[in-house]
Structure 1
Amino acid sequence: MIRAVLFDLDDTLLSLNLTAFLARYVNGASGLLCRASGKVRVNIMAAYARAWLAVEAETRRDRLTNEQLINKIVFEQTGIPLDDPAIADMICCFERTVVPRMGGGIVRAQPMPGAREAVDCVHDLGLVCALATNPVVSHACDVARLHWAGFDEGDFALISCAENSTRSKPWAGYYEEFCGKLGVTPDECLMVGNDARRDFPHPECGLRTIYVGHARPKRAIWSGRMSDLAPVLPRLIATS
């Protein structure tokens, strides 16, 4: 029995150039850290890249949150303690005031057609609705992108982010951890996502995926456009 529906964010609920957004974020954060620490900006940017690769590594065995691992690697690479209160406050201010203005231009952020209808359908069915976005950035960055998509935090029972996750997509450990926080098991959930690699757990853990991207993955229980999902979602839930 399906008790919860999990939605991916980027290119699922929100249309955007994710690579451009992440580049803007790293460029802006690295510029601040460069001026505060005197370290070379390009080295800080490279440290962020290494940290994100470590967060997503299949071989990962630590029990750090993703935020803690990012902080650890950036410190090892640059000597900058991101968890120092003064530096953390500076980055938090950047994420609250600057990041929400990054959606224009090359990022091209706009609501995905059909996304609001699909989320409302889940609520109308009385199911738990949660945001299972890849947790490599902060809660504040997730919320900024949610707003670009036309949603707010109240639309979701839980939002995965770097602060509350110890693994990332596509690893089963991420999905098991996220579902556990919701009080459900993976086989009681449906995942809605556009990424044929990240939105299907590896290895399989019982979670089934509705695919709203451009491919036709065999593991998907339904494939199509987000704009076509809401009318068929009640049937998919009832038969899953």
Structure 2
Amino acid sequence: MFKAILFDLDGTLLNIDMEIFLQYYFAEMINAAQENGYQHGKKMAEQVFYSTNLMINNLSPVVLNEEAFMGDFLPRCKYPENEVRTFFDDFYQQRFPVLKVHCHPFPGIAEMMQGLFRRGFKVVIATNPVFPREAIQQRLEWAGIGDHPYALITSYEEMHFCKPHVEYYEEICRRIGATPYDCLMVGNDVGEDLPAGLIGMKTFLVEDMLIDNEQSGLQPDWRGKISDMIDFMKKL
């Protein structure tokens, strides 16, 4: 029925409340900035937020998300590029791991993922590519599914588009050599994950940590709890 299964990460494969998590994330970033001699750590973190929003809305097919972010962030933070990149590399390698305490693996997800790979599905980690690969890989490890040969992990170094834009889903199809009709998108966010259906993908909405902020009116092909999703995957 499907050749490729696309999974959102946060709230779908990993038990994490991103609204709460991001508060700790930015607090950790502010502390790291101040400890590294940046006097305006709070302003730096605020600019990360603003530049991320600009990146999300960038629709240029020739500008990677990382390039869109840095192109806005660097002129505004007024620090040398090599210094900024070193700061972020160190932050994600040394400080980001402490945030693990704010999330937990979902029971059954690791076994589900093993089963999908054993049966030959292409599996994509279709998380919104606003983070570098290091931060996504760590969250996959926290979910207990970090060691699989995924067809694609959508990081900001890899992708030109973000959710909820349909161009994001079209880019995934091109990258993995599949049509939308070959793909199932699984996620917990109506506004970000269900737009995959607009290009012909089938969708499964996970309701345990449901996000429906925009009242978009989009409807999934299937919906249910994480236990229902796991059972669904067994029947594919």
TM-score range, shorter chain: 0.7 to 0.9
Match of 2:8 in 1: 8
* Aligned Cα root-mean-square deviation (Å): 2.4
For residues 45-96 of structure 1, what are the alpha-carbon distances to aligned partners after superposition, in whole Å with 9 as ceiling and x for unaligned? Answer: 2211111211222x74463211111112212322234xx3343233212211
Q: Does 1:156 align with 2:153?
A: no
- SS class of match (2:100): coil
Is the Cα contact below 8 Å between 2:60 and 2:160 reproduced in 1?
no
Matches of 1:35 and 1:123, distance apart in 2: 43
Match of 2:85 in 1: 88
Identity percentage of aligned residues: 27
Matches of 1:6 and 1:203, distance apart in 2: 12
Is the Cα contact below 8 Å between 1:26 and 1:48 reproduced in 2?
no
Is the Cα contact below 8 Å between 2:129 and 2:159 reproduced in 1?
yes
- SS class of match (1:67): helix
- SS class of match (2:159): coil
Is the Cα contact below 8 Å between 1:117 and 1:230 reproduced in 2?
no
Instruction: Give the deviation of 1:35 after TM superposition.
Output: 5.4
Instruction: Give the deviation of 1:185 after TM superposition.
Output: 1.9
- SS class of match (1:110): strand
The 5 Å alignment of 1:87-166 reads: 87-104=84-101, 107=102, 109-166=103-160
Matches of 1:4 and 1:202, distance apart in 2: 13
Structure 2 gap segments, 5+ residues each: none
Aligned residues: 230
Give the AA of the match of 2:221. Answer: I
Structure 1 gap segments, 5+ residues each: none
TM-score (norm: length of structure 1) = 0.85
Deviates more, 1:149-158 or 1:4-13: 149-158
Instruction: Give the deviation of 1:234 after TM superposition.
Output: 4.7
Is the Cα contact below 8 Å between 1:6 and 1:131 reproduced in 2?
yes
TM-score (norm: length of structure 2) = 0.86
Matches of 1:165 and 1:218, distance apart in 2: 24
For residues 88-137 of structure 1, what are the alpha-carbon distances to aligned partners after superposition, in whole Å with 9 as ceiling and x for unaligned? Answer: 23321221122122121xx2x11123322332332232111110001101
- SS class of match (1:201): helix
